[in-house]
Structure 1
């Protein structure tokens, strides 16, 4: 059965990477994973927003990618060292802080793709996601962290969709390259999507074999992070089901989503 997360629209899906920050917005000081960035993606017509989450010093799950604040705010502290209030002050003129709970409540028509960045956030993020499980896909580089979040979600609501972590992707790639169809099918049975880069260093990750194995098991393939129109067209023609992009506005024009 298809998870409800996938019923918001047809493929190719456009996943607004950390919301949407246009060049004009950036000139005004708006940053990724801010309330304004999520609102801009929604206003542009996005059905899906990809974001990341961390845990603050006072236990609040916030949308933020980096483990520290330096790149986004210039503050050298880590997310784990600041409170929600301190982070809200820092983000006040950068588009505004948005917590995971606020994102799910304030944008009831959006589907969220949540990447759990640290072990400390996994359980609490899952508990928050549970009541909104129909419109959340949970992922993480760590399969263990991803499973912790999924288990926690099931205790407060339902089971979100999920995308395989690094271990799942590596095992799938190995099975495909070795021609081990049964093994690939077994690995893919536990996920709804694979979200991958085109390459990882010298290794080509996105292959026709990977896409074929995923589709054989009803698993979608989403590729990140694609910002050029020609690349979007090429990858959709190659067979991917979704494009994760910083420029959702461009993707809508290119793909007609």
Structure 2
């Protein structure tokens, strides 16, 4: 049965990676994972926003990718070493801080793809998204962290479980199953998984192959490839059978693919 996160949106799916920051927006100081970036993705027509979750010193889940603030704000401190109020001030000139709760409330029509980056954030993320399970996909490089967030959502009693994408350990084992041509093993590994969100390659290793797509689709699992910004590459991947493109330029992707 297809999860509601997928329902009603045509493929190929365009996932706005950390929102949308156009070159013009960047000249005005707007940064990724800001309120302005999420708003721009929605305004461009993106149904899906991919973002990341960290926990501040005072226990607030915020949309932020890095463990520290240096790349985005120039402040060297870690996210978990500042309060949400301090981070709000730091993000004031960069498009505005957005907490997870604010994102879900302010953008009720957006479907969120949330990567739980911080170990300590998993329980809080699950609890916050529980009432919004129909429009949230939870993922993490750590399958343990991903499961912890899903368990927290279930414990909070939201009704519809969030969709989920496989973490690194499952993806690694799946690549092995594909190389061994073991469809039954692949099906077992993908049980309870709604999507595979992977790069096309990892170094010299090609991850997205016709056989992987075949095995995933045979298990009713979609394949989304990150992070693709070239329209020609988007079109090529969709032609291979990829179901979704994670991109920094959702505006470009929507124009190229639709």
Deviations 1:11-46 (A, max 9, x none): 100000000000000000000000000000011111
Deviations 1:100-140 (A, max 9, x none): 01000100000000000011000100000100000000000
Instruction: Spell out the pairing of 1:237-248 with structure 2 (5 A cutoff).
Output: 237-248=239-250
Does the 8 Å contact 1:8/1:47 carry over to 2? no
- In the alignment, which residue of structure 1 is the partner of 2:222? 220
TM-score by length of 1: 0.99
- CA offset at residue 179 of structure 1? 1.3
C-alpha separation between the residues in 2 aligned to 1:218 and 1:136? 18
C-alpha separation between the residues in 2 aligned to 1:84 and 1:201? 37
C-alpha separation between the residues in 2 aligned to 1:56 and 1:208? 42
- CA offset at residue 208 of structure 1? 1.1
Of the three residues 186, 189, 195, the one matched with 2:188 is 186
TM-score by length of 2: 0.98
Q: CA RMSD in A?
A: 0.6
Deviations 1:155-186 (A, max 9, x none): 22131000000011111110010111111110
C-alpha separation between the residues in 1 aligned to 2:60 and 2:228? 30
- CA offset at residue 244 of structure 1? 0.2
Does the 8 Å contact 1:229/1:250 carry over to 2? yes
- In the alignment, which residue of structure 2 is the partner of 1:59? 59
How many correspondences in the alignment? 256
Gaps of 5+ in 1: none
- In the alignment, which residue of structure 1 is the partner of 2:18? 18
C-alpha separation between the residues in 2 aligned to 1:64 and 1:52? 5
Q: Which runs of 4+ in 1 moved over 6 A?
A: none
C-alpha separation between the residues in 1 aligned to 2:38 and 2:198? 22
- CA offset at residue 209 of structure 1? 1.2
Matched, 1:3 2:3: yes
Matched, 1:250 2:229: no
SS of aligned partner of 2:7 = helix
C-alpha separation between the residues in 2 aligned to 1:83 and 1:205? 39
Instruction: Spell out the pairing of 1:77-96 with structure 2 (5 A cutoff).
Output: 77-96=77-96
Matched, 1:36 2:36: yes
C-alpha separation between the residues in 1 aligned to 2:32 and 2:81? 20
C-alpha separation between the residues in 2 aligned to 1:220 and 1:121? 26
Does the 8 Å contact 1:193/1:220 carry over to 2? yes
- CA offset at residue 8 of structure 1? 3.8
- In the alignment, which residue of structure 2 is the partner of 1:177? 179
C-alpha separation between the residues in 2 aligned to 1:8 and 1:76? 42
Gaps of 5+ in 2: none
